Chain A
């Protein structure tokens, strides 16, 4: 990213040619020159593009951890090999990082000297007028009569100034000339763009290491407070400290869904999810608000997003003595667009044996061929809960945390459902069913909805945006503001007649250079009150 080759005041590069005689420092300098050259930057850019591709072909741990697990299961031999090359963590891998770090070093090594150069250029006068303007683009000669040299000079200077040029007067061999330069903003924009990219990278790094994100499922009527313990899952940045969790509470009052009912091509398609909540920051007043899919809630330096929802049947279990051993809303995970959902109840205590229940919930139940049940509509028209009972060791006594959504049935015996003597427990809301062997009763009390909330904190996110916008503005000026020099050289020819020579030179791509020379000529003719010949 050093100066482009069409840079008009580029000095011939003094890069030492590498040969065996180079000492250590010269070798380092040679390497530095290579690294910061435009060609290297270009190749690194293309390498970066290529290196990003595998991450879109293979599942990535950060974006799709389940996909990685599945990939390992279905490609037992290949997956570990790919994993060795960090192909499931492409964007944090050593090789991907190496490319972009080198690219940014190259970028810094290029823009720093360029900034110095630009700083000097901005304070320098426009350069001496070249002696042979006729070699330059847009070269035009004009003769004016009835105007003297000084008046023509004054008008040329005035016209160029009004077009945004900086001007300087030079004299040589009876010739007076204006040397003018404009469009410094082009290079300024270019530098702003590159510095902003560095800014984006730094802000992303800082935000990622100081921030955190956490997930929490909240059932209607339940509250959630922003503390480490309250999260179902939590991923902190490298330098996260628990004290940066700002204390607040969110209570989910009601979760409303809307499904398409009229458009025959989209019956049952969700058109709206709204979580109505009451929020309270510590020491503040509670307030009612809503969270929707595209409308997160900003609270206490975090953003709270609605990223999922589902049904949570309220299940009560009593033992044979009539004591309640379980009574809770159990979030079920939706499996399809009609919200056929799966959930698990673990009953470690209070019954004759440890029991596990694997349940299916159908908001609108229907029977397919062969007696398989399924849901045919996502809303609660005819809800039903079916449960299969497993007896044995739940595997939770060892104190190893287990997912609340899965039941490890390795050490358990299935008591109801397919391949057993007893049918599954089937209940509509308000109904009860008996557990096998007189162990007790299960009651499906009612259905609540739940919202899956994501909480994010990224202290540098605003800076990322600021730098991104700066980069775009810089890019815009660096690509579209023309940087050009223009010269008007004036000398007396014969009595009462003067000759003017116009020429210009562009830095970078400049499709309108010659038109600009014509405009200057026209403006000057108008300024002098002459008519066009």
Chain B
């Protein structure tokens, strides 16, 4: 039963990846093409969004089956964490889209999710094994889940900041009467609006990250006998927190709005990704639960 379920989970995940790939192609074509009503490519974003929803449902099914097969939350090793983490990133993207139209982020989000899932499926895959005693805690449910939520919001914030910088270059080029090849950006919100979107998503991520840090400390106190010990993962959680704290302050500092705060948001997400991949795999520390 367990074997069958985990096999279906893998199957479902691969299907989701295939559909994400198609959505990614459609999003990208749309982003790179000039806006013209009536052309086929004008329909691409809606098609791509629909495909992303389908892939999301498949990935959700894959994640739930993995959890059922293991009879625990599906985020106890690198493979499962990648699966749940990217699921959350897509969820944050899809649900934010119900409120604001951020479809133009589709190419970035599906691209990122594809890369992470590809890595997870080929490099991080591990069979289902029981939890070691140190992970047997309800804090696994809370601490890790909220960390992935924060990651989802930071990912969106990052992509908006990248677009903000591109848009800003385009706007400057237009003002100076220069030619620009970033024609796809015409239909996007202006740089200031992109920056505001990024800020609103990142502060939500920041609250979740703060919670992750506190919950992690409470759990560390239970499992390792101290709430803070500068373990490598703790160090990087702290670094990420500090970078985003800097970002929030930058938004209220003259001369730091715009380009500089966008760069901080990008550095922050870079650190999040570094923490998730390099620190997990290559650094020595107590958070050695990658299962690799």
Contact = CB atoms under 8 A, between A and B. Distances in A.
Interface stretch (A269-277, A356-364, A380-388): A269-277
A406 B172 CA distance: 70
B137 interface: yes
A45 B217 CA distance: 21
A271 B71 CA distance: 14
Interface string B176-218: 0000000000000000000010011001001100110010011
A305 B225 contact: yes
A294 B235 contact: no
Which of B196, B228, B242 has the largest number of chain A CB atoms within 10 A?
B242
Q: How large is the interface on A (under 10, 10 to 19, 20 to 34, 35 or more residues)?
A: 35 or more
A294 B134 contact: yes
A269 B132 contact: yes
Nearest to B241: A49
Given A52-B239, A294-B137, A456-B226, A42 B130 contact: no
Given A213-B225, A263-B129, A91 B243 contact: no
Contacts, number: 141
Which of A46, A273, A305, A471 has the largest number of chain B CB atoms within 10 A?
A46
A42 B239 CA distance: 14
A48 interface: yes
A28 interface: no
B127 interface: yes
A147 interface: no
Given A52-B235, A64-B284, A265-B127, A293 B136 contact: yes
A461 B200 contact: no
Contacts of A5: 252-254
Interface string B226-256: 1111111001101100110110111111111
A472 interface: yes
A42 B250 contact: yes
Interface string A505-532: 0001101000000000000000000000
Nearest to B248: A479
A49 B239 contact: yes
Contacts of A56: 232, 235-236, 239, 279, 283
Contacts of A59: 284
A326 to B, nearest CB: 33
Interface stretch (A117-125, A167-175, A462-470): A462-470
A4 interface: yes
Contacts of B239: 49, 52-53, 56
Contact of A62 (B126, B230, B249): B230
A16 interface: no
B227 A270 contact: no
A2 B252 CA distance: 9
A310 to B, nearest CB: 15
Interface string A65-88: 001000000000000000000000
B278 to A, nearest CB: 10
Which of A42, A48, A292, A307 has the largest number of chain B CB atoms within 10 A?
A42
A60 interface: yes
B238 A52 contact: yes
A296 interface: yes
B230 A91 contact: yes
B128 interface: yes
A303 interface: yes
Given A48-B242, A294-B137, A307 B224 contact: yes
Contact of B132 (A64, A90, A270, A464): A270
A195 to B, nearest CB: 16
Given A49-B242, A509-B196, 20 more contacts: A4-B252, A4-B253, A6-B252, A38-B253, A53-B235, A56-B283, A90-B230, A263-B128, A266-B129, A271-B130, A293-B136, A294-B137, A294-B223, A295-B222, A307-B224, A307-B225, A464-B227, A468-B217, A480-B203, A511-B196
9 contacts: A42-B253, A49-B239, A265-B129, A271-B130, A271-B131, A303-B225, A465-B227, A475-B210, A509-B200
Nearest 8 interchain pairs by C-beta: A4-B252, A266-B129, A265-B127, A305-B225, A293-B133, A49-B242, A56-B235, A45-B246
Interface of B: 126-134, 136-137, 139, 196, 199-200, 203, 206-207, 210-211, 214, 217-218, 221-232, 235-236, 238-239, 242-243, 245-246, 248-256, 264, 279, 283-285
